[in-house]
Chains A and B, each alone.
Chain A
């Protein structure tokens, strides 16, 4: 299909790594971060912020070099990103179709909506004991918790977006004699595109928070476990460094998700 090829071309253009880096560099947030870093340095150097309470930037930098040199930081980042992507992708493949079904069939929605609404009000972190009980320690419980944190909000937002698809699109589909499968792939999914991407962006942020908390309890590695391990080892310098890495990676993930909104076939949802 022609429009699919346009989408692919757009994909290759939009996800150029240097563009992502450039957008971070020119961001005002980056300048604010440097200012905060300067304040932190001054507070630490003047003794206003004693090192026993919070490590100095120098200590954190040394901890960073130490963790990079011994390779642990990369292993933790890899483990966390792997779990995040696994849980998130499973949530997308289940949550989006589930949301479409709930949105398209009012009777199904009448039964499904109260259950989803109930479950999404239970903090995902409350499931940690059960996740450990069912899956043990390691990748599986964390992936399960990330999945759980994303699947309900995602399906709920898709479910609410489906009835808002303009009826006229279905009339065009009827005129074009599309099959049900074609209506799904050529009308419903593209029409939901902007809402799905917005929901994915929100869920990604949520999942990142859940992931760190889940790894603290149910992981043997990963950034969350590293934070917990540093705390147990009284290494506040590593602890602060890991926190900075978690924040920075969270911003990078959000930037990547935000760039999805620049896809030509989604721009209509953000520029109207």
Chain B
């Protein structure tokens, strides 16, 4: 239990009378890639902001043993800094000031001196990912980081990201409504329903299991049959 990088115990979050998250308990294993799927508006991003410490729960406890970085949906870039400056922003106190490798990874070397308002939504998301990787954080929280990317870039980024996370032993939580993305990246999938957000199913993704079978299990857990 001690080496769990993140642990939520009976967490509840209220905004006035509205209950956003109700009595939610979950744990993240070290080096695990946990994906939380659920429909839009069920409280996925709110849950992620609780995990990041950006919001405090109304009741319950959140234990976080590692420093985390959040990859937002592209709107977390600082508009007065260039792409390069944004990438090294989180790393200025450490010795990771050279953004070359991160720029190479996201395929944006040519845009190093551009400002965020000059980039497309997908490019912004890629810079956000690069910023999180540059900081070499052991725990990364991703809020639908591929939602604005085109199909090919999305596929490439997923593969690269999974490889980097595995090689560097990074623990990760990703929230998405894209089931294919969840199956491709996850070691474990939590199916969320709401509001109030609650876990309705937990699916361990076996490496040998065909993706279609995992998708069918998720659909079944939300009361839909795969066609």
Contact = CB atoms under 8 A, between A and B. Distances in A.
Interface string B47-86: 0010011100000000000011110100110111110110
Given A2-B84, A172-B78, 11 more contacts: A2-B85, A166-B75, A171-B70, A171-B72, A172-B72, A172-B90, A174-B52, A174-B54, A186-B89, A265-B81, A269-B79
B116 interface: yes
Contacts of A186: 89
Nearest to B88: A2
B115 A6 contact: no
Nearest to B97: A2
A175 B115 CA distance: 21
Given A3-B82, A265-B80, A177 B67 contact: yes
B117 interface: yes
Interface of B (DSSP majority class): loop
B interface bracket (residues with beta carbon within 8 Å of A): 20 to 34
Contacts of B93: 177
Contacts of A168: 72, 75-76
B76 A193 contact: no
Interface of B: 49, 52-54, 67-70, 72, 75-76, 78-82, 84-85, 88-90, 92-93, 115-117, 135
A1 to B, nearest CB: 8
Contact of A268 (B49, B76, B88, B117): B117
Interface in A247-272: 264-269, 271-272
Among A2, A193, A264, A271, residue most surrounded by chain B Cβ atoms (within 10 Å): A2
Contacts of A175: 52, 68-70, 90
A116 interface: no
Contacts of A268: 79-80, 115-117
B18 to A, nearest CB: 19
11 contacts: A2-B85, A2-B88, A168-B76, A171-B52, A171-B70, A172-B78, A177-B67, A190-B80, A264-B115, A268-B80, A272-B117
